[in-house]
Structure 1
């Protein structure tokens, strides 16, 4: 998908850059695979705001996406590629030979009419899913499981992928987009190829209202508040907020490391924080 530039017929159109969606399905989603979605406004069951910056937004339907890909050795045909408001990637409607239909994450270079299949070992072709232990070293893949049968958790966002760089003791070594290298069990599934819509990050929404349509409210900077409202607040004139950036509740933020999971430390070979080799 390419980017679409608009003529500056209004201030909101000036600088507006969106992904061109002309190749996507124009109709409604598959009804049997959708469900109504209620908005929370970031509030819990007591009506208290527990997630700031959420509110408004266009009405959405949730599309059930098959992240597990455990329908083995049944070939499916891509019926169409669709827009999904719940994620940055596009989704593909697949009709299997036994008549079942399902949504999957649409990989790059997969179009309407293409065949996809999942199995223990299948052809290394975009859209096909297989066990990581059966993938050749160097394969680009996405929708990677962390626990066998749980469904893909890694590399599901638009344009993302991981690369399989080695094997060791029944596990595979993958390199993530962040630069992290880690072990994953060989029985986990992955889908060949990178996720669709890589130009998602190059969009410019042009006006605040378009972001509000997505359900995001503006957040006030801490330094613009009073001391009673935020640790960065107050001060004479304009201040930078202090030496150590913190959240409104005093927790370190902006790069402070909070990861504390000794059980999975041994799975990480190279941290994403390690200095990159030039």
Structure 2
């Protein structure tokens, strides 16, 4: 997909850059593969705001995605590529023929790059290294680019599901597979975990420019007021004579360190990490 640039016919159009979605399916989703989705406004059951910055946004229906890809050795045909408002990647509608009741068996998967309408995909213990095919990590050749990677066998893909992301298989060791993530982290993943071949679609998503605040409101994002622009009663960075930078250590409104402070607490999986994403890169 290419990027669309607009003429500056209005302030809202000046600088607007969007992904060209003309090649996607024009109609709505398969209703049986969707669920209703309520807006919370960032509030809990008591009506208190527990997540700042969340607003209404456009009404959406959630698309049920097959992250597990456990329909083994059944060939599917891609019917169409669709836009999904719940994620940055595009999704593909795959038909697996008809079931025992004579009803068409369809599912949504995350669409990888270079997957088109009419292409055939299959999930198996070991299969061809083709975009859209899913298999166990332990069966993949070293150097394969994959996405939708499981962290526990049978749990469903958790890593590399966002637009343009991918993971590279870099080696094997005693029933484990070594992978390199986009962040630079290298880690072990069990060889029985499933992954899908290819990088995730819509790599140009990061090059878009919304050009006006209203487009962020459509996405359900409220504006953020900087702490240094507030009064001391409202934020630790607030107050001061003239314009101030907010102090040496940036904190949240509740005094917790932010802007790069590490928040990782699940140390039980440290043994799976070979090289941290924070390790200095060799020049």
Query: TM-score w.r.t. structure 2 length?
Result: 0.97
Alignment partners' CA distance in 2, 1:247 and 1:76:
48
Unpaired runs of at least 5, structure 2: 99-103
Structure 2 match to 1:53: 53
Once the two structures are superposed, residues 104-133 of structure 1 have per-residue CA deviations (whole angstroms, 9 ceiling, x without a partner) of: 000000000000000100100000000000
Partner of 1:94: 94
**For residues 248 and 26 of structure 1, what CA distance do their matches in structure 2 show?**
44
Question: Is residue 128 of structure 2 the alignment partner of residue 123 of structure 1?
Answer: yes
Structure 1 gaps of 5+ residues are none
Q: 2:39 matched to which residue of 1? A: 39
CA shift for structure 1 position 81: 0.2
Aligned equivalent of 2:252, options 237, 241, 247:
247
Equivalent pair of 1:164/1:172 in contact (CA under 8 Å): yes
State the partner residue of 1:24.
Answer: 24
Equivalent residue number for residue 172 of structure 1: 177
Structure 1 counterpart SS, 2:182: coil
Distance 1:54 1:263 in 2: 32
- Write out the 4+ residue segments of structure 1 that deviate beyond 2 Å after TM superposition: none
Q: Quick one: which of 186, 191, 196 aligns to 1:191?
A: 196
Residue 178 of structure 2 aligns to a residue whose secondary structure is strand
TM-score between both structures, scaled by the size of structure 1: 0.99
Any idea what the Cα deviations from partners look like across 1:231-276, whole Å, max 9, x if unmatched? 1111111100000001111111111112122210010000000011
**Alignment check: 8 A CA contact 1:74 1:97 kept:** no
**How many angstroms apart in 1 are the aligned matches of 2:48 and 2:183?**
34
Alpha-carbon separation, structure 2, partners of 1:190 and 1:97: 23
Q: Give, in whole Å, the separation in 1 of the partners of 2:33 and 2:265.
A: 37
Shift of 1:137: 0.3
Q: Which stretch of the first structure deviates more once superposed, 111-120 or 257-266?
A: 257-266
Over the aligned positions, Cα root-mean-square deviation in angstroms equals: 0.7
Cα distance in 1 for partners of 2:96, 2:169 equals 28
Is 2:249 the partner of 1:265? no
8 Å Cα contact 1:66-1:104 kept in structure 2: yes
Contact 1:69–1:118 (8 Å) recurs in 2: yes
